[in-house]
Structure 1
C-alpha cells in the first residue's frame, strides 16, 4: 500500500490513532507537493465566452455550446485543541485519484447520465450513449418535454467529437494528459475562452464528471486537477468533500463541487460540463449520476 492509499483508506475509519493520522497526513502532503511540481429553450441570456450562451431561470443557468465546500475530514492532523485540521483540496483530489485507480470499470450497452438541478422545477436531464456513438436524450434543451429523442450530437471533448476508443487511449500520466489536452484541436465556436487559450481545467473536469472515462485516465485527471492553483477545501457537506477553485475563464465565478473521495465521483457542482460539449451552471447545486445500463427507454416511434 502506498502513502496515498494509506490516507484514502483512513476515510472509512472514523477514529484512527493520532500517530497514524499525523504520519499519514505528513506523507500525503509530501506526495502532494511532488505531484504539484510535475433549437433551444430561451430563458434570457448573456454571453459567457465564444460559442457559449447562458440561459437563466430562478437560481439556475444553462449554457449551450453550439448545438459538480471544504470538508473537515476526520483523518486530518490533530491540533493542540484536539480538533482535526481540515485536509486540503489538493489532498482530497489525490485521495479521489487513488480511489479512481482501484475502482473496476463496469460495463453495459449504454452510458447513462442524469443531471438534476436541485431546488429547481427544471426536470432531470438524461442521456444514453452507445459505444458506436449513437445518443439519445430526455429533457435537454430543444427536446420535447419528458420524451426520449435521438440526439444529433454524440460525445464531445474540447468542442470536438470523442469516441469510446479515443477515451480508452488517453494518457494515464497527469502531465501527459494535460499536454494531450493542450494539443488537442477543437472547434473554437464550441469552446470556452480558457479552452481556446490552452487551459486544461474544464476539459479535466469533463473527464471526471459525465464522460465514460476509463479508471486509470480518471485517476490521472484527478491528479492533474490536484496540481491546479487555488483549489480549496471549504467544509464537510452531505455526500463528500466540498471544494472550490477559480473559474479559468476569469469571470469571477468560483467553481464549486462536492467530491466523494471514496468513490472518486463528483456528486454535485455549480457547473456541469456535459458529455455533448454543452455546459450548465447554477446558483445552487447540480447533482450528477452516471452508470452503465442495458436498457434504452422507448422513443416516440417505438411506442405502440
Structure 2
C-alpha cells in the first residue's frame, strides 16, 4: 500500500521570559558567528572596529526579512518562538479544521477535556452541525497518548525523537514512512493539533528542521510555505508562521486522533484552550 492509499485509509477512520529570549538570541548569534568565521575585518582602531562589528550584527539580524530564508531556518525560527509562547489554559482543547468544498467552506471541530472525554462536530458519518460525544483518544505513531504523557515528553530534539521512536506502534494507524522509521508525521502532529507544551513544541520544530529535503517555497499569506518530504514523491505543503510558531494550513493534515486529512488545496487549522462548552 503506497502513501496516498494509506492517507485514504486513515481518512476513512471513524509574552516571553528573559531566559528563553536569551537562549534564542544566543542560538541566532552563534549561527551568525559561524557564518562570518572565514571573514577578516581590516585592521582598524578599536572604536571603529567595534562599530563595524555592531553594524555587521545588526545587518545580519534584519536582512532575513527580505533575503531568501531556507526551510530549515524557518523551522528553527519557529522553534525559537515556540519556546516562549504558551498554549494557554482552559477546560477543553479545541481544534478547528476548515477547507473549501464546491458549496463553500466546510469545518470540523473537536473539544477534548483533560480527563479524555471528547466531543466533535461534523466528523465523518456524524449528523451535520450536531455536537456528539466522540471517544477518540489522542494518538502519536498510532499509540494513544494523554495530556500527562504529552507534558512529560523530552524538550531536547534528539531525546524527543528517541522517545517518539520508542513508542508502541500500531501499523494500521501509520503511514508507510512511519512504519519504516520516519518521524515526520508525529513531529508535525506535535506542532499542529496536539496540546503540546511550549518547550516540547520548540523541540519538535527543531527536530523537524533536520529532515532532509525541507524546502521553503517562499512567503504566502499567513507565513512561509514549506515543502516537507513525507515518503517517495509524497510531500506535505505546510504554511508556518515563524513568529507565532503556528501551522496555519497544510495540504495533508496529520490529526490529533492519529488520522490524516487530505486536500487538493489547503486545510486550515486553529487550536486553543477554552472554557466554553461545546454546543
Matched, 1:192 2:162: no
Rate the CA distance shift 1:182–1:232 in 2: closer, same or farther, 3 A: same
SS in 1 for 2:249: strand
**1:61 corresponds to:** none
Q: Identify which of 112, 132, 148 aligns with 1:149.
A: 132
Runs of 4+ aligned structure 1 residues displaced above 4 Å come to 4-7
Note the 1:10-89 alignment, pairs <5 A: 19-20=56-57, 22-24=59-61, 75-76=63-64, 84-89=66-71
Quote how far apart the aligned CAs of 1:118 are.
3.4
Q: CA–CA distance in 2 between the matches of 1:232 and 1:119? A: 28
Contact 1:119-1:284 at 8 Å conserved across structures: no
More moved, 91-100 vs 190-199: 190-199
SS in 2 for 1:93: helix
SS in 1 for 2:251: strand
Quote how far apart the aligned CAs of 1:95 are.
0.5
**2:111 corresponds to:** 128
* TM-score, scaled relative to structure 1: 0.72
Q: Identify which of 242, 252, 273 aligns with 2:225.
A: 242
User: Which structure 2 residue ranges, 5 or more long, are not aligned?
Assistant: 1-21, 31-53
Matched, 1:275 2:256: yes
Q: What does the per-residue CA deviation read over 1:261-304, in whole Å, with 9 as the maximum and x for residues that have no partner?
A: 11100001101111111110111011100001111223xxxxxx
Task: Specify the structure having the higher radius of gyration (Cα).
Answer: 2
Matched, 1:161 2:144: yes
Contact 1:5-1:98 at 8 Å conserved across structures: no
Q: Identify which of 65, 69, 89 aligns with 1:107.
A: 89
**1:261 corresponds to:** 242
Matched, 1:90 2:72: yes
Rate the CA distance shift 1:75–1:118 in 2: closer, same or farther, 3 A: farther
Q: Which has the higher helix share?
A: 2
SS in 2 for 1:216: helix
SS in 2 for 1:194: helix
Aligned-pair Cα RMSD in Å: 2.0
* TM-score, scaled relative to structure 2: 0.78
Q: What does the per-residue CA deviation read over 1:13-71, in whole Å, with 9 as the maximum and x for residues that have no partner?
A: xxxx97346534xxxxxxxxxxxxxxxxxxxxxxxxxxxxxxxxxxxxxxxxxxxxxxx
| Count of residue pairs the alignment pairs up | 232
Rate the CA distance shift 1:140–1:5 in 2: closer, same or farther, 3 A: farther
Contact 1:136-1:149 at 8 Å conserved across structures: yes
